[in-house]
Amino acid sequence: MSSPTPRGSTPRRALSGVAVVALTGAMLAPLAASADDDAYLGAGSPAPESKIQDGGLTGADLVPNSYFVQLAAPATTEGGSPRVIQSQREQFLAHAQSAGVSVEVTSEYDTLWNGLAVTADAGSLTSLATSSVVEAIFPIGLIEAPERPSGGHHAPQMHSAVGMTGVDRAHELGYTGEGLRIGIIDTGVDYDHPDFGGGGTPDGDTFPTERVAYGYDFVGDSFNAAPSDPAYQPIPMPDEDPDDCQGHGTHVAGISSAGGEVVGVAPDSIIGAYRVFGCAGSTTAEIMLHAMEKSLEDDMDVVNLSIGSAFSSWAEYPTARATDALAREGVVVVASIGNSGANGLYSGGAPGVGRDTIGVGSVDNVSVRSNAFLDEDGEPVPYTTSTPAPTPPTEGTAQLLAFAEPGTTAAQHCEPFSEEEAAQIEGNWVLIQRGECTFHSKALNGQNAGAAGVVIYNNAAGALNASVAGDPPITVPVMGVMQQDGSRLATEALASDGVTITFTDEQAEAPNPSGGLMSSFSSFGTTADLMFKPDVSAPGGSIYAPYPLEDGGYATLSGTSMAAPHAAGAAALLLEAHPDLSVEDVKLRLQNSSTQVGLSIAPTAGLEVVHRQGSGLIQVDRAIEADVTAEPGLVQLGQQLAGETSTNTVTVHNHTGEEITYTVTHEGAVSTSGTANVFGYWLVEADVEHPESVTVPANGSAELTFDVTSPSLEGEEGDPMDPTFGGYLHLTEGEDSPAYSIAYGGSAFDLQDIEVLADMIDGDGNVTQELPALVTVESCAFWSGIDCVDPNVVYTPVDEDYVFTMAQGEHPVFAIHFEHQARNMTWEVFAANEDGTAGESLGTVSSVDYLARSSTRNAITGYAWDGMVMTDNGARERLPSGDYVMQIDVTKASAWNDDREPGVESYTSPAFTIDWSDEGLVDSPVVTRVEGHDRYATAAELAVTRFEPGVQTVFIANGLNFPDAVAGGALAVAEEGPVLLTRADELPGSTRMALRDLAPDRIVVLGGDTVVTDDVMEELADYTDDVDRVAGHDRYRTAAAISQEWESSDIVLIASGMDFPDALSAAAAAGVEGAPVLLTRQHGLPGATMNELERLDPSTIYVIGGETAVSQTVAEQAGGYADVVRLGGLDRYRTASTVAQEFFSSPTAEAFLATGRDFPDALAAAPAAALNGGPVLLTRPDSVPAATMTALDALRAQAITLVGGFDAIALQVQEGLGEYVYE
């Protein structure tokens, strides 16, 4: 499972292979075509940038057919040459003539800006843009600045982003999110910040505050779940204070909720800060789940997750399952779709791909406000700060050097600087252009040359937001500037041996050439099974918002991380205006009222693909005032092959007191064709038949039915795949009324035709390495067990009969590239025949569900084998030295509406040899911990991580009162259902979320109505119609009532009813044996227990516990019903050890370790332990008893799972077990 990362930072990369190459095909000139023709618009590419920049002017008054053409050379005031400027004008006009385009020059500019004002037909712009001297083309028009909202907010409103989405007008209408709670699951929030009502001094306020009133730190400062990070520290150390030491969460919270110098979307909302990241690195899905549970407990109205696992485009991924469960509990959940747009199709990630989660894509802001330094003329140069490099200085001067002309390969400095260059760079700043290699490589080359700092400038229009994460870390400041600024500075620096720049704490702003278009980083859908995502888009590119006071107080960041909280704030405004809206209603209003944006690489060619923008750019004011909603807001066609027709129905709701007739029109969007990493854009639309109008009665609804016939690319040059397509139906009441939209989308190809296990290829498509392949690790800097987690790992393919010693780095590794997500991967190992073929099957090695695709076309993941196979009891046993063959079967993803059996692709390895070395034979357990912020959350995590959705029965026990519950543990184990905990009179949020996720057929409450009240029974009825209570007048009768679930039993276990440990130790064992647990008093069997023994008629009774717990008198009484075996020790720890060794065999797959001081953790652990055929053992909080270690040694538990937080089981216990080696 990949570790989620903040969307505004660099996602964790898949394991790299012998070579990792991202295909960066440039945009091709579009073919001229009529509206009825297919037109190939260009290759999909990482970060496609268009020269035609008109997407940000939607709604502006434009001068018809009039455009500014920006030419490449600097203007004369920027050091440009008049001769070069004139030459470029002539080149441009010559290009226009050769392309057959009629152009009239109306004005020429060269002093402050180099370009022309021209009159030309809009359809000719793409031809004009192919000129090598054209930098960008802008329509000539007037854009009015959005008015400030009335009231007390007199500040930049996240700069211009709120004007793009109608938030400014929503504020004027009086909606500010007052009384609404927005949960931010992220890196925490700097509640000292004045924009959140803080005093403006770091560490000056105490949590909670008036604005940041809820929250929790689930991890602590040092937590980092990324094994490849030198600061890897995967053990969470939670506390009560969710202060932000990273910055991402503060920025996100500012977008949704700031109310000071920056005004967010919902500036009067209350913030819940749920910190799931340390000061650096990644987090885990389990921790995110805890934060969601806590947000539900705190009654958040909206929850934002600017976090995700890239390329895990499965709604079944744990975080997506959890957000969907939270949404079904009535919380509006908003999540970023991902920042992997440069990596092609199917690049969205969980949780944004959840079915009930609002997944949000990013649109670039129309202007950029950021920190600035001054050039030699004192003019401000806006820049963005690259993370995780140090913050640039805010005072002083520096010499900025350049070594190559802008636009050349040399200017990109992907190779180390020469000694002569390094001598000049030492102590100065160096200017490097984007392109060819990673930002980290560029920064590292500057750092290694002795630079005091690095300035990276863009190689295309638009702002530059660069992450320089990598190893070794970047320790000098790195700034990103726009292309025009960087090119000018480079030209000046080359002409004068460097320029002097002055650092300031000032800010500057500039129009963003890519404003109003999808951000280049915004991920594409669809999901793995062809559901269209995202749902909507919002401003996320170049957003100015609060940042921790320690790091400057404000910053301009980009990412779908920034888009999601804009939508989350919008949801809060909607709920303020319409408090009775359901989660689905909020999504519908946002979708229906959105406006669509043009294709990012060619805005005039058509609308951006539906599986990238969703329903479009949200318009909050229109969503609030909408008289109509249409559901579904995005019609999912799924797999609908070329030429097939579907009939679809949308229900249109009229929210007014008058009948309304809406005109219905259709607008197709651009399509894509190809696989994840190799695809192109096509101007090809579905054939859509729809009525001209629909009439909806007052306060009523009407059905709108339309037919969609999938398009085809058959016969096109290159024989492309049939496309993923989509478009929009628009509903308008009158000529001047706003249009409300219904999106639709489908895939015209058979998903089973996509090859999943693909080879490595070169730029021409030639195979350079067949995959999967048996490889060995050539070099690796970071290990996690036997797995290399170094992103720069180097593998070497090996031949047949290669010998693996199974020492560190000497395990068989299988290098795999996934060109599409896979439903399942199963490994089976065979004994090798003498001829190298597969002989007898020796067992299954592993079976994994819902796999992500590879990040780039040649990225590979290495899967190491530890020489173990699974046994019938769930344990894994080591195969001896010998010759083996591995077979890997990958089950393909199926479209959500395709009920055929999915295809399977298989790989069979060459024969290889295992020759165990002494190092390889070291036998140690893998130690993990399951913990929640309280006992209810711990039980919930065990339930949702160990049991599949759709489980037959869930058992509910009181989390504070053990007697009625302990006997129920055996029944839960026997019925293979989890135990969840509740308060007597209220279901905790974590339990509610777990029930939504598990969706059980039946719920059984353990105990009477004083232990679990009827109010809770009514709450439980929301999750299933089948809710039962098992109870007696006392604990003994309750245990007997539970035992009634057994018709008879050869074995019965009897434990003390006066204390919990012995009964809970017995629960897992009883469940494995299919036997009930009855309770007894210390000195005599209760009547209910005797009656049940008579009914069950067992042959053997196990008395659990020593004579101080269950007297010899009781044992003798039990002997009247069956043979009696006592399993007990001098204390609870020895009793649990004795029970485990009696009922469980060696090796055991997993043993659970719970505190012996309290009951809830052991109670919840019993069903999960028995599910894997393992025991529940007990420990002291700060040390493991000798008896427990004896049981672990005897059972050779391959995994030890600690249940509970650090108060229950101390960190030193976890660390000690992690270093333990079995004898």
Backbone angle region of 206, left / alpha / beta, with phi > 0 → left and psi within -120 to 50 → alpha: beta
Question: Which tokens in the block code for residue 1012?
Answer: 């679990």
Return the residue matching tokens 């044992």: 1115
1182 is catalytic: no
Q: Is the peptide bond before 388 cis (omega within 30 degrees of 0)?
A: yes
471 is catalytic: no
Return the residue matching tokens 């009239």: 104
Q: Which of 54, 110, 168, 186 is catalytic?
A: 186
Return the residue matching tokens 């969460």: 249
Of 327, 320, 329, the closest CA to residue 354 belongs to 320
Measure the CA–CA gap between 1070 and 447, rounded to whole angstroms: 63
Q: What is the tally of helices (H) and strands (E) in the chain?
A: 27, 63
Q: 346 with 313: CB under 8 angstroms? A: yes
Q: Which of 3, 312, 537, 561 is catalytic?
A: 561
Beta strand 1002-1006 with 628-631 is unpaired
Q: Which of 171, 248, 251, 817 is catalytic?
A: 248
Q: 893 with 529: CB under 8 angstroms? A: yes
Q: How many residues does the chain have?
A: 1223
Three-point CA angle 350, 352, 355, nearest 5°: 95
Question: Which tokens in the block code for residue 216?
Answer: 């929790």
Helix H or strand E encompassing 217: strand 212-217
End-to-end Cα separation, the chain, in angstroms: 31
Q: How far is CA 848 from the centre of its chain?
A: 19
Helix (H, G, I), strand (E, B) or coil at 126: helix
690 is catalytic: no
Measure the CA–CA gap between 674 and 667, rounded to whole angstroms: 23
Measure the CA–CA gap between 1043 and 1049, rounded to whole angstroms: 10
Q: How many CA atoms lie within 13 A of 403 on its CB side?
A: 23
Question: Which tokens in the block code for residue 495?
Answer: 């002409």
SS (H, E, C) 241-258: CCCCCCCHHHHHHHHHHC
**Where are the alpha helices (H) located in 1078-1196, listed in sequence order?**
1087-1096, 1112-1118, 1132-1143, 1160-1171, 1186-1195
Q: 1187 with 1137: CB under 8 angstroms? A: yes
Helix H or strand E encompassing 848: strand 838-851
Dihedral sign of CA atoms 695, 696, 702, 703 in order: positive
Q: How many CA atoms lie within 13 A of 798 on its CB side?
A: 22
Helix (H, G, I), strand (E, B) or coil at 1015: helix
Measure the CA–CA gap between 923 and 868, rounded to whole angstroms: 12
Question: Which tokens in the block code for residue 1045?
Answer: 């679930």
What are the φ/ψ torsions at residue 842 (nearest 5 degrees)? -105, 0
CB atoms within 10 A of CB 185: 33
| Catalytically annotated residues | 186, 248, 561
